[in-house]
């Protein structure tokens, strides 16, 4: 699974959809299609889910969820906006539809269900984990 992190000023782009842990907001992203690079998947998922075009995907971290069957590898990329406008996707083929897309102030992440660890990392612009294997996703607060 890839995830896109788009930071603009003191805000981060999130999508609203029901998650297994009960949260309603998450990072845009999804599965990699056959023959697709991780970077291309990240940029495609961001466009599909939010309407935002991006370039310059730089890997932030690699983590894993061993509690899933099969285990899931997560790769987060930081991206820069190159165009597009925020919009909700059509959700035609989604089992778990996205009901909203928004830029959220970093200081409001806890109110959107994010852990204190994730909030800390976001405030630090994810520098403490940039380019690292983080192991279990809990280590980045997800």
Q: What is the pLDDT of residue 94?
A: 67
Angle at CA of residue 35, ends 46 and 48, nearest 5° = 20
Decide which of 97 and 54 is more confident.
54
State yes or no: pLDDT of 9 exceeds 80: yes
State yes or no: pLDDT of 8 exceeds 90: yes
Q: Give residue-wise pLDDT tens across range 78-106.
A: 999 999 999 988 776 667 789 999 999 99
Q: What is the pLDDT of residue 96?
A: 75
What is the rounded CA–CA span in Å between residue 86 and residue 49? 9
Q: Is residue 110 part of a domain?
A: yes
Q: Is residue 82 part of a domain?
A: yes
Per the structure, how many domains does the chain have? Answer: 1
Residue owning tokens 């995830």: 3
Q: What is the pLDDT of residue 55?
A: 93
Q: Is residue 34 part of a domain?
A: yes
- Write the CATH number for 88: 3.90.79.10
Q: Is residue 141 part of a domain?
A: no
What is the rounded CA–CA span in Å between residue 1 and residue 89? 19
Tokens of 122: 């976001």
Range of the domain at 60: 2-132
Instruction: Using a pLDDT cut of 90, give the percent of the chain over it.
Output: 83
Give this prediction's pTM: 0.92
- pLDDT band of 51, cuts 50, 70, 90: very high
Q: For 23, how many CA atoms within 13 A lie in the half-sphere containing its CB?
A: 16
Q: Is residue 140 part of a domain?
A: no
Tokens of 39: 């970077």
Q: Is residue 98 part of a domain?
A: yes
Q: Is residue 142 part of a domain?
A: no
Mean pLDDT of the region 35-54: 97
């Amino acid at each position: 699974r890839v995830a896109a992190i788009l930071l603009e000023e003191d805000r981060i782009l999130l999508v609203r959809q029901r998650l297994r842990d009960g949260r309603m907001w998450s990072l845009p992203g999804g599965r990699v299609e056959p023959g697709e690079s991780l970077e291309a998947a990240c940029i495609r998922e961001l466009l599909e889910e939010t309407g935002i075009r991006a370039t310059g995907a730089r890997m932030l971290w690699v983590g894993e969820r061993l509690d899933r069957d099969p285990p899931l590898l997560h790769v987060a990329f930081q991206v820069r906006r190159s165009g597009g406008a925020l919009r909700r996707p059509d959700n035609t083929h989604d089992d778990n539809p996205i009901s909203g897309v928004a830029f959220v102030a970093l200081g409001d992440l806890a109110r959107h269900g994010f852990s204190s660890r994730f909030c800390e990392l976001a405030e630090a612009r994810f520098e403490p984990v940039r380019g690292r294997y983080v192991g279990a996703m809990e280590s980045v607060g997800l």
